[in-house]
Amino acid sequence: MTIDVDAVETATWYHTIDLPGGISTPGTYDLRPALSRLPWPELRGLRCLDVGSRDGFYAFEMERRGAAEVVSLDIDDPSDIHFPAFRPENELIQNDLDNGKRAFDLAHQSLGSTVQRRCLSVYRLEPEAIGTFDFAVLGTLLLHLRDPALALSAIRRVLNGPLLVNEAVNPSLDLFRRRPVAEALMWRGTPFWWLANPSGIARLLEAGGFDVVASGRPYMIRHGTGARRQSLARCLRRPFRDIPKNIVYTRGSPHCWFLAQPASTPPPG
Ligand SMILES: C[S@@+](CC[C@H](N)C(=O)[O-])C[C@H]1O[C@@H](n2cnc3c(N)ncnc32)[C@H](O)[C@@H]1O
């Protein structure tokens, strides 16, 4: 397998992916250390789905674990994105989607992968469009969606087995009480809607038609070598706003995993 090293170096990577020849992509995030804490079932022979796959880290991991078929689901049409205060014609969105597709294609080619890329919004998952799956992964996606429970119920329509969710959380929402809560982010110009505490994610899963069968404790997904850090000058310009955030986020992004099974009764609607 020949690897286009120049293309790998000049691409914009979200994921740190190990390619043949000792090359690791300079991702914004490095999920490799998180792999061992996730409760992977036996995947050999299964048809698997990676929802919101971006560069394809989880999809390639499922292929490596022996899945019979893997579908990497993402979108290529900016009108499928509903971010607060963004317009579909905003070229930042198109650039970002193009970067994800280019990174996936490069990793796919370098790994000699047979993962199939499908461009379809999670809300449009239907057995007629994509078939059904034995296992699915969803990573760091719910906080970007206007309707996370609707997205989960769409995944349930095509899933006959477990769903592994590894989602961004705000554990500080647990400081006062452990009941399900989510904060509305919606900062101008950012692609975020909500950040829930772990109980909030569990509640969303139930609302989407899943029973949570296991979950982990919050942990940090580490930045990769491609992460951009806030400059010191910028931190000092707005010290109260940026320093506390940077202390947490210099280490990465707090996440929590959940293993869920489709509930016997489908969600309403
Ligand atoms: C933050 S990245 C997460 C990538 C990967 N799942 C992970 O955990 O590292 C979110 C991905 O979801 C995709 N996405 C956003 N809205 C989507 C939608 N409605 N349907 C499918 N994918 C979507 C984005 O294009 C992006 O690639």
Q: What are the pLDDT digits (tens) for 83-115?
A: 877 776 678 888 999 999 999 999 999 999 999
- pLDDT bin (cut points 50, 70, 90) of residue 234 is low
Is 166 exposed, middle or buried (CB count within 10 Å of its CB: 0-12, 13-18, 19+)? buried
Single-letter code of the amino acid located at 5: V
Task: Please tell me the predicted confidence (pLDDT) of residue 2.
Answer: 75
Q: Is the pLDDT of residue 155 over 70?
A: yes
Q: What is the pLDDT of residue 245?
A: 59
Best of 140, 141, 167 for a ligand 1 pocket test (most atoms within 8 Å of beta carbon): 141
Mean pLDDT estimate for the chain: 91
Q: Does 117 sit in the ligand 1 pocket, CB within 6 Å?
A: no
Pocket test for ligand 1, best of 51, 54, 70 (most atoms within 8 A of CB): 54
Tens digit of pLDDT for each residue in 110-139? 999 999 999 999 999 999 999 999 999 999
> Taking a C-beta distance cutoff of 8 angstroms, is the pair 142, 194 a contact?
yes
**Does 72 contact ligand 1 (Cβ within 6 A)?**
no
pLDDT tier for residue 178 given thresholds of 50, 70 and 90: confident
pLDDT at residue 213 tops 80 = yes
What domains can be seen in the chain, in order of their start residue? 5-227+254-262 (3.40.50.150)
pLDDT at 251: 74
Q: How far, in Å, from the CA of 52 to the mean position of ligand 1?
A: 3
Q: What is the pLDDT of residues 248-265, one digit of tens each?
A: 566 789 999 999 999 988
Answer positive or negative: Cα dihedral of 235, 236, 241, 244.
positive
Mean pLDDT for the stretch of residues 34-60: 98
Residue 72 in this model has a pLDDT that exceeds 90: yes
Q: Is the pLDDT reported for residue 237 higher than 90?
A: no
Residue listed under structure tokens 């804490």: 37
Residue 90 confidence (pLDDT): 75
Q: Which amino acid is located at 220 in the chain?
A: M
Model pLDDT for residues 239-252, shown as the tens digit of each residue: 665 555 555 566 78
* Residues with Cβ within 8 Å of residue 235, at least 6 apart in sequence: 242, 243, 246
What is the structure's pLDDT at 238? Answer: 62
Any atom of ligand 1 within 6 Å of the Cβ of 170:
no
Q: Is 252 in the pocket of ligand 1 (CB under 6 A)?
A: no
Query: Is 144 a pocket residue for ligand 1 (Cβ < 6 Å)?
Result: yes
Mean pLDDT value of segment 185-207: 90
Cα distance between residue 130 and residue 128, in whole Å:
6
Distance (Å, whole) CA 264 – CA 10 = 47
In the reported structure, the alpha carbon of residue 243 is separated from the centroid of ligand 1 by a whole-number distance in angstroms of 28
Q: How many CA atoms within 13 Å lie on the side-chain side of 256?
A: 22
Q: Using a 6 Å cutoff on CB, does residue 147 contact ligand 1?
A: no
pLDDT at position 235 over 60: no
